[in-house]
Structure 1
Amino acid sequence: MESKLLFSCVAVLLMFFVNQGTGLKCHQCSSKTDPDCDDPFYYEDNPGVVKTEKYLAECPADDGNEYTLCRKIFQNVRGESRVIRSCGWEKDESRDCYSTVLEEYNTYVCQCFEDGCNSASMFSLSLAGIVSTITLTYLLN
């Protein structure tokens, strides 16, 4: 009887120390409201070090979505550019980056799959994609 009680107590204590697992961590911010979110996100003299980790957070687990990727979005809305870093759940199987061009706004979106991977500069993600998005923006205006 005592061994069962001891075993139960040890099992309960172990539950407090066992890592329950953590979800994906992505930078989550928008340069529209947080200027530090904009590029360059790294120090110019030390490109391997992000300027801030304050936006790096675990993706939400309680909103019904199963987050499997980080996203970085370059968006141009009526001539105003911004960077949006977020968690995502809809994976594009055919490509890591894509662009959309509409009348009111243009976006260039890249997805990645490791913790904090959406800190990369858009230029390191794809210079051609950014240049084409900006060019189309000016052509449509």
Structure 2
Amino acid sequence: ADTLFLVDSWLTDMGSSTLAVLSLLALFLHQGEAIRCYVCSSQRDSSCKDPFNSKQHEHLLTHCSQETMRNIGDNIFPGVFSNFGYHTSQPEEFACVKAVTKNYDREEVVRSCSIPRADTFDVCSQLKARGDVTFCQTCNSDSCNGARGLAPLALLAAAPVLALLFNKY
């Protein structure tokens, strides 16, 4: 019920097609491979913005399940599975997503459940095609959408190796 209210509130309050697509994508989850993702919108909760303190916001972690997302689909988006070319019987893994949108010079952060990137479908490409998404990233581990982004972390982890290489030559 909380997830249903959150998605309904995003659509009502923001009127953003980007948030609608992000919410629709959450419908493609398959129960049994539960992943926990942060689910929030900075439009409704300013603590969802960056910098995001995951330790202080564990209450925003949600077990993503097909059943929960199907309830959202049945009540708000009937027929959405077939509209996107997916069916609930298709096995999909779980993923988390973080998207940053810019609406009327106002930055909004959305963290949610999603389907992972696949050869046939890329959540972030779909969102970015709408034009108002300035950042989008999916990840496949528990609570991974609480980070600013994986690229800066990878660079930080690679820094010692790069330093050794540059010092050698």
TM over 0.5: yes
> How far apart are the structure 2 equivalents of 1:22 and 1:102?
30
The one-letter code sitting in structure 2 at the alignment partner of 1:100 is K
Q: Distance in 2 between matches of 1:30 and 1:53?
A: 15
Q: Which of the pair has the greater relative contact order for Cα pairs under 8 Å at 6+ separation?
A: 2
Match of residue 11 from structure 2: none
TM-score by length of 2: 0.48
Distance in 2, Cα, partners of 1:79 & 1:86 = 22
What secondary structure is seen at the aligned counterpart in 1 of 2:107? strand
Partner of residue 100, structure 1: 128
TM-score, with length taken from structure 1: 0.56
**TM-fit CA distance, 1:55:** 0.6
Greater strand percent: which structure? 1
CA RMSD of aligned residues (A): 3.2
1:107 and 1:38 mapped to 2: Cα distance?
14
Pairing 1:35–2:40 present = no
**Aligned equivalent of 1:83:** 109
State the AA in 1 paired with 2:133.
N
Note the C-alpha offset of 1:77: 1.0
Higher helix share: 2
Between the aligned partners of 2:113 and 2:93, the Cα distance in structure 1 is 6
Matched-pair contact (CA < 8 Å) for 1:74–1:107: yes
Quote the offset at 1:60 in angstroms. Answer: 3.0
CA–CA distance in structure 1, aligned partners of residues 49 and 62 of structure 2: 17
Tell me: CA distance 1:54–1:112, structure 2 relative to 1, closer, same or farther (3 Å): same
- Give CA-to-partner distance per residue, 1:62-106, whole Å, 9 cap, x none: 114845100001111121101100011151559997683656x23
Q: Any unmatched runs of 5+ in structure 2? A: 1-31, 71-87, 154-169
Aligned match of 2:34? 23
Residue of structure 1 in register with 2:147 after alignment: 120
Percent same amino acid at aligned positions?
A: 28
C-alpha separation in 1, matches of 2:35 and 2:130: 31
Q: Please give the alpha-carbon distance, in whole angstroms, between the structure 2 residues aligned to 1:92 and 1:22.
A: 17
User: How many residues align structurally?
Assistant: 99
In our comparison, the structure showing a higher alpha carbon Rg is 1
